[in-house]
Amino acid sequence: MDEAILAEEEAIHKDICSSLTDYEKNRGNLIPILQMIQQRHAYLSPDAIKTVAEHLNIPVCEVYGVATFYNQFRFNPPGRHPIRVCLGTACHVRAGDIILENFERKLGIREGETTADREFSVERVACVGCCALAPVAVVDEVVQGRMAPSKVEGLILRIRMKNERSGVRGSGSEVTSEKSDDNTNLEPLTSNPEPPFQKGAE
Amino acid sequence: MTETLHQVYDAIREKAEQRRKVFRETPGPKIHIGMATCGIASGAVETKKAFEESLAELGLAAQIHTVGCIGHCYAEPVVIIEHPDSGFPPIFYHQVTPGKARMLTKLFLEEGDPRFEHVYGAVELNEMIPSVMEFPRFNQEKRIIMQKCGRIDPEDIYDYIAEGGYSALVRAFQRSPEEVIAEIRDSGLRGRGGAGFPTGRKWEMARQSAGSDKTVVCNADEGDPGAYMDRTLLESNPHQVLEGMIICAYAVGAKKGMVYVRAEYPLAVKLVTQAIRQAKEVKLLGKGILGTDIDLEIEVFQGSGAFVCGEETALIQSIEGKRGMPKHRPPYPVESGLRGLPTVINNVKTLATIPPILEQGAEWFRSIGTEKSPGTAVFSVVGSVLNPGLVEIPMGVTLRTLIFEICGGIPNKKKFKAVQIGGPSGGCLPEEFLDTPIDFDSLTQAGAMMGSGGMVVMDADTCVVDVSRYFLDFTQKESCGKCTFCRIGTWHLLDILKRITKGEGVEDDLLQLERLSEDIKNGSLCGLGKTAPNPVLTSLRYFREEYDAHVKEKRCPGMTCRTLTAYYIDLDRCARGCDICGGCCPVTAVFSTKNRKKAIDQSLCVKCGECLVACPPDYKAVVKISPPGLAPVIERPENPPESHE
């Protein structure tokens, strides 16, 4: 597994280097470049930040400073099944924080972290835009409205069981097909045609 | 010049009307589906698919018209069906699930039965079905900014033009820039971003500032949690915003434009980018707009999500690739903004108001709203109201009308407690302010703020202290860190509030809160710090007794602060053998007592309230209580029938 991750990181590095050539060496391009990297690879690795700094010829700490200033950027890889809990005002008033806590407890990670097996990650988002369904959580891009603490375990369990049944653990292509299967089997309340919520949004 | 201008525009207009005519005159039903982010989140994509599939199955021909959001979040997914052959007027259906969609295709589109039990109302007045126009939610609104939202397809420029879009631009081009500015100044339009600076004056200053390399920025960096009107506008009618931008650029003499929109709004980014491309294709943007010698290039910049970037100078810093930290003003951005060049920054809603003003005149605009705040305001009303969503009302309408008439009041017969206006920079107003008219000045006077227009309604079960803590938690995280008072002061403020909500508050804390709040207000450079203590100050002023209850009695009147509340099961009411509460408890804190009635292990309980919801109404055995010491203590039997993980 470690080797697979190393190889993956190497591939990411190559990809970033090649796509950086499209951007002028202009400070104003810093945020668009970071956005591009995050869009392609879902997170900014320390290596990516260094590469960008070298490309724009600015100190690494400058890039890091800008990247950490904005909520959009994340610095650890998201899980294969990202979970986003909405903590907008409407969801807060209807106890969205209890939902977040339940996810944290069940997965044994804190908000913003990824489980060791990279299966799940938990994040908070500012507003998913369906306040009438509050509290809301987005699991695998499927919006789960009117969440309740007791629903949390079921949602996680369904993904885990599905994984176990098909013996999926790791390699990317299988996981993607896995994911789409999941969506249909979760009896989604609603779902989204495309990933509408940016990672790390707050 | 005027002649060619008209010729070019009329050609586009004619094409638009032609397309509209084809759409209108094609026989068969027409299905309009709201497909903005909120609609999609509620399942509009599945609904659309269900319509398409069932139409194909039944071999029916109908046109599906995807539109933006009409702002009725409680009713999403919204579908309007026009079926002239059935003899019924266009009908508004709400919460159309895929199943409902299939049923309507079969029964209404094929057999002509509109299924009255699912009808929300007819779109227009008629003899058969009550019209939505008779509902307060519809007839008390006054739509200027959102007039075309939900009626046109945001992905089709011709749909907007057929509704009269871009005709205000032609009118603007026929006048001199000074005349356009005068019209806006006379209309009394004030910036809709929150501060309410007169737009005409901003433009005038930009016009006068030296240099020809000016930029117009559309500020769609909506960071306020729970406010989403800018997003809806960009997703439902991006062209009205673009039209406003072009007029602004013409008036101030700018050649460049930029839409600063949050990357968290991918659909808005996509639709605005597409709208710009379409406008370029028909020569409404780019070089030589509409055959004149006016040029304007508009690009989209994706903001990375920092609340402080809603502030003009911070927004500029962010475009320049730096951390979004506000700078001293003056110099104002209209003199020295983006890369040191004059920059006009207007909110999305301000820009969307420009075309209607130019079309119908300053006089007309002044007739709406109040004298000092003419026009309308868009609010996103969320929280404890029956019909949450976006509401556009003329300024001067009272809070009572907005909350109780337009939005249907508080559900479940609960009592109104407070309304929080203006998001993290606004204030919390109690019941006696319900008759306050909504306009820039009255709200500021009451201690709240127009802000970007987020409105949270709270019922008796919400804790005011907790809501203040929530907003402060937000501003504390979003503080850019430039000013000491904002950076450290908000942290301490939050620390005190956290202690109070945990029942660890001391009496001196309230005094500290007040003092610190004043210091933060005085010691901060930008609006974020200057307004961050507002939720605390207003709630302290109007809900002092709630703070006192937290501090002195360690009791939370709204029963929200979890450390100060507890759940217990009333053994007299609990039904032997029912196990619903135990089944739903996420932490297995519910256990069976010796006589098989249930009790809650307070050391394990996380106070999620699941058992309270789950307990059948016949028993209502689960009780919530504050302070937690009042809950009776029941020991867990030594051999527990079920063990926790």
State the pTM of this model.
Answer: 0.89
Burial (0-12, 13-18, 19+ Cβ within 10 Å), B425: buried
CATH number at residue A179: 3.40.30.10
Domain assignment present for residue B12? The answer is: no
Nearest-5° angle of CA B186, CA B221, CA B250?
40
Strands B215-220 and B256-262 come out as parallel
**What six digits make up the tokens of B442?**
């009255």
Residue B190 lies in a domain: yes
Secondary structure letter of residue B420 according to DSSP = E
Q: What single letter denotes the amino acid at residue B262?
A: R
Say whether residue A32 is in contact with chain B using an 8 A CB cutoff: yes
If asked whether residues B134 and B189 sit together in one domain, one would say no
Which CATH number belongs to the domain containing residue B517 in this structure? Answer: 3.10.20.600
Q: Tell me if B14 is assigned to some domain.
A: no
Mark which of B365, B390, B421 sits at the end of a domain.
B365
Is the residue at A172 inside a domain? yes
Q: Are residues B289 and B215 both part of a single domain?
A: yes
In chain B, the residue whose alpha carbon lies closest to the alpha carbon of A65 is B323
Residue A74 lies in a domain: no
Residues B400 and B141: their CA atoms lie apart, in Å, by: 14
Least confident range from A20-24, B127-131, B193-197, B538-542: namely B193-197
Residues B170 and B267 in one domain: yes
Domain boundary among B528, B553, B578: B553
Which of B457, B463, B550 has the alpha carbon at shortest distance from B503? B550
Q: What is the ipTM of this complex?
A: 0.86
Which residue reads 């990375």 in tokens?
A: B304
Among partner residues A35, A71, A133, which is closest to B306 by beta-carbon distance?
Answer: A71
Instruction: Say if the Cβ atoms of A35 and B263 lie within 8 Å.
Output: yes
Between A and B, how many CB-CB pairs are < 8 A? 169
- The three-state secondary structure class of B93 is strand
pLDDT tier, B261 (very low <50, low <70, confident <90, very high otherwise): very high
Cα–Cα distance list, A165 to A160, A161, A169 (Å): 9, 6, 11
Q: Which residue of B has its CA nearest to A141?
A: B41
Q: How far is A134 from chain B (nearest CA, A)?
A: 9
Residue of A nearest to B72 (CA): A132
At residue B641, the pLDDT reads: 53
Question: Taking a contact as any Cβ pair under 8 Å apart, which residues of chain A between 157 and 196 contact chain B?
Answer: 189-196
What pLDDT was estimated at residue A129? 66
CATH number at residue B78: 3.40.30.10
Question: B123 in a domain, yes or no?
Answer: yes
Pick from B264, B390, B463, B482 the residue to mutate for testing the A interface (most A CBs within 10 Å). Answer: B264
DSSP string, chain A: -HHHHHHHHHHHHHHHHHHHTTS-S-GGGHHHHHHHHHHHHSS--HHHHHHHHHHHTS-HHHHHHHHHHSTT--SSPPPSEEEEEE-SHHHHHTTHHHHHHHHHHHHT--TT-B-TTSSEEEEEES--S-GGG-S-EEETTEEE-S--HHHHHHHHHHHHHHHHHHT--S-HHHHHHHHHHHHHHT--SS--SS--S-TT--
Tell me, yes or no, whether B486 and B581 share the same domain.
no
Are A105 and A64 found together in one domain? Answer: no
Arithmetic mean of pLDDT, B376-385? 89
- The tens place of each residue's pLDDT in chain A, 202 residues long, gives 578 878 888 888 999 999 998 899 988 999 999 999 999 988 899 999 999 999 999 999 999 999 999 988 988 888 889 999 988 888 888 888 899 999 999 999 998 888 888 889 998 887 776 777 788 898 887 888 888 888 898 899 999 998 888 875 544 333 333 333 433 343 333 333 344 344 443 3
* A62 and A116 share one domain: no
CB-based contact B285:B295 (threshold 8 Å): no
Cβ contact, residue pair B608, A102, below 8 Å:
yes
Q: How far, in Å, CA of B88 to CA of B131, rounded?
A: 12
Provide Rg for chain A, Cα atoms: 18
Per-residue pLDDT tens over the stretch B10-53: 999 999 999 999 999 988 899 999 998 888 888 899 999 999 99
Establish if A140 belongs to a structural domain: yes
Distance from CA of B559 to the nearest CA of A (A): 12
Say if A202 falls within a structural domain.
no
Q: Is residue A115 part of a domain?
A: yes
Q: Do A97 and A144 share a domain, yes or no?
A: yes
What are the structure tokens assigned to B511, written together?
Answer: 């005094």
Tens digit of each residue's pLDDT (9 = 90 or more) over B418-471: 999 988 888 899 999 999 999 988 988 888 888 878 888 999 989 999 999 999
Specify the pLDDT at position B180.
96
Q: Tell me the pLDDT band of B586, cut-offs 50, 70 and 90.
A: confident
How many whole angstroms separate alpha carbon B561 and alpha carbon B573? 26
Mean pLDDT of B483-506: 95
Nearest CB neighbour to A31, from listed B318, B380, B608: B318
Q: Are residues A92 and A132 in the same domain?
A: yes
pLDDT at A187: 39
B405 versus B226: the higher-pLDDT residue is B405
Q: What residues contact residue B167 under an 8 Å CB cut-off, 6+ apart?
A: B9, B13, B359
How distant is the Cα of A193 from the closest Cα of chain B, in angstroms? 7
Q: Chain B: nearest CA to A65, how far in angstroms? A: 7
Inter-chain residue contact B264 with A90, CB threshold 8 Å: no
For residues B352 and B239, the answer to whether their CB atoms sit within 8 Å is no
Single-letter amino acid code for the residue at B10: D
CATH number at residue A57: 1.10.10
Same domain, B181 and B311: yes
Give the CATH number of the domain where residue B256 resides.
3.40.50.11540
> Nearest CA of chain A to the CA of B632: how many Å?
24
Q: Are A178 and A147 members of one domain?
A: yes
- Which phi-psi region, left, alpha or beta, contains residue A165 (left: φ > 0; alpha: ψ -120 to 50)? alpha
Residue A109's Cβ-count burial label (10 Å; 0-12, 13-18, 19+) is middle
CB-CB neighbors (< 8 A) of A192 in chain B? 40-41, 45
Partner-chain residue, chosen from B41, B323, B389, that has the shortest CB–CB distance to A66: B323
Residues B274 and B243 occupy one common structural domain: yes
Q: Show the tokens assigned to B352.
A: 């969307």
Question: What is the pLDDT at residue A112?
Answer: 85
Number of domains in chain A: 2
A34 and A101 in a single domain? The answer is no
How high is the pLDDT of residue B642? 52
The DSSP 8-state label assigned to residue B567 in this structure reads E
Q: Is residue A156 part of a domain?
A: yes
pLDDT digits (tens, 9 = 90+) for A18-58: 999 889 998 899 999 999 999 998 889 999 999 999 999 99
In chain B, which residue's Cα lies nearest the Cα of A31?
B321
Q: Which residues pair with B32 in a beta bridge?
A: B65, B80
The mean-pLDDT minimum among A180-184, B109-113, B357-361 falls in: A180-184
Beta-sheet strands, E only, within B372-497: 376-383, 389-394, 416-421, 427-430, 454-459
Q: Which of B111, B68, B107, B242 is nearest to B166 (CA)?
A: B242
Q: Is residue A119 in a domain?
A: yes
**CB-based contacts of B494, cutoff 8 Å, min separation 6:** B469, B472, B473, B476
Q: What is the DSSP letter of B431?
A: G
Whether residues B123 and B219 fall in one domain: no
With an 8 Å Cβ cutoff, are B480 and A73 in contact?
A: no
Same-domain pairing of B84 and B170:
no
pLDDT band at B640 (very low <50, low <70, confident <90, very high): low
| A136 burial via Cβ count (<10 Å: 0-12, 13-18, 19+) | buried
Domain end point (choices A37, A69, A101): A69
The verdict on a CB contact (< 8 Å) between A132 and B40 is no
CB B430 within 8 A of CB B111: no
**Higher-pLDDT residue of B226, B582:** B582
* A169 plus A86 within the same structural domain: yes
Q: Which residues of B touch A105 (CB under 8 A)?
A: 586-587, 606
> What percent of chain B stands above pLDDT 70?
99
Domain-embedded: residue B639: no
- Residue in chain A closest to B613 (alpha carbons) equals A148
For A149, which of B228, B389, B586 is closest by C-beta distance? B586
Structural domain contains residue B370:
no
Quote the domain boundaries for residue B406.
376-553
Task: Tell me which H or E stretch contains B208.
Answer: helix B199-208
Q: What is the DSSP string of B118-182?
A: GEEEESS--SSS-BGGGSHHHHT---STTTTTTTS-TT-HHHHHHTTTTHHHHHHHHS-HHHHHH
Q: Round to whole Å and give the CA distance between B493 and B497.
A: 6
Question: How does pLDDT run across B74-85, given as a tens digit for each residue?
Answer: 888 999 999 998
Determine contact: A95 vs chain B, CB below 8 A: yes
Contacts of residue A71, defined as CB under 8 A and 6 or more positions apart, other chains included, come to A126, A200, A201, A202, B304, B305, B306
Is residue B635 a part of any domain in this protein?
Answer: no
Whether the predicted pLDDT of B144 surpasses 70: yes
**Under a CB-based contact definition with an 8 Å cutoff, are residues B432 and B399 in contact?**
no
Mutating which of A128, A131, A139, A189 best tests the B interface, going by the most B Cβ atoms within 10 A?
Answer: A131
Q: Are residues B571 and B548 in the same domain?
A: no
Neighbours of B86 (CB within 10 A): 16
Domain count of chain B?
Answer: 4
Range of the domain at A154: 81-185
- B130 and B197 in a single domain? The answer is no
In terms of domains, do A125 and A63 share one?
Answer: no
Q: Do A153 and B382 touch (CB under 8 A)?
A: no
Quote the CA–CA distance of A103 and A122 in Å, as a whole number.
7
Phi, psi of B112 (to 5 degrees): 85, 15
Task: Provide the pLDDT for residue A200.
Answer: 40
Condensed to tens digits (0 to 9), the pLDDT of residues B294-352 reads 999 999 999 988 899 989 999 999 999 999 999 998 899 999 999 999 999 999 999 99
Cβ-defined contact of B458 to A93 (cutoff 8 Å): yes
Task: Indicate whether A44 belongs to any domain.
Answer: yes
- Does A131 share its domain with A96? yes
Tell me which residue in B73, B324, B583 faces A132 most closely, judged by beta carbons.
Answer: B73
Which of B232, B304, B487 to substitute to test the interface with A, most A CBs within 10 Å? B304
- Residue B96 inside a domain? The answer is yes
User: If DSSP codes are grouped into helix, strand and coil, which group holds residue B617?
Assistant: coil
Out of B266, B382, B614, closest to residue A90 by CB: B382
Q: Could you give the angle at the alpha carbon of B54 between the alpha carbons of B53 and B56, nearest 5°?
A: 65
**pLDDT score of B298:** 96
Say if CB B345 and CB B338 are below 8 A apart.
no
- Strand B454-459 vs strand B376-383: parallel, antiparallel, or unpaired? parallel
Say yes or no: B323 and B388 in one domain.
Answer: no
Give the pLDDT score at A177: 36
Task: Give pLDDT, residue A176.
Answer: 37
> Taking CB atoms and an 8 Å cutoff, what residues of chain A touch B46?
190-191
- CATH number of domain containing B595: 3.30.70.20
Q: What's the CA gap between B557 and B562, in Å, rounded? A: 12
Could you tell me if B534 and B575 lie in one domain?
no
- Decide which of B527, B553, B579 is a domain's last residue: B553
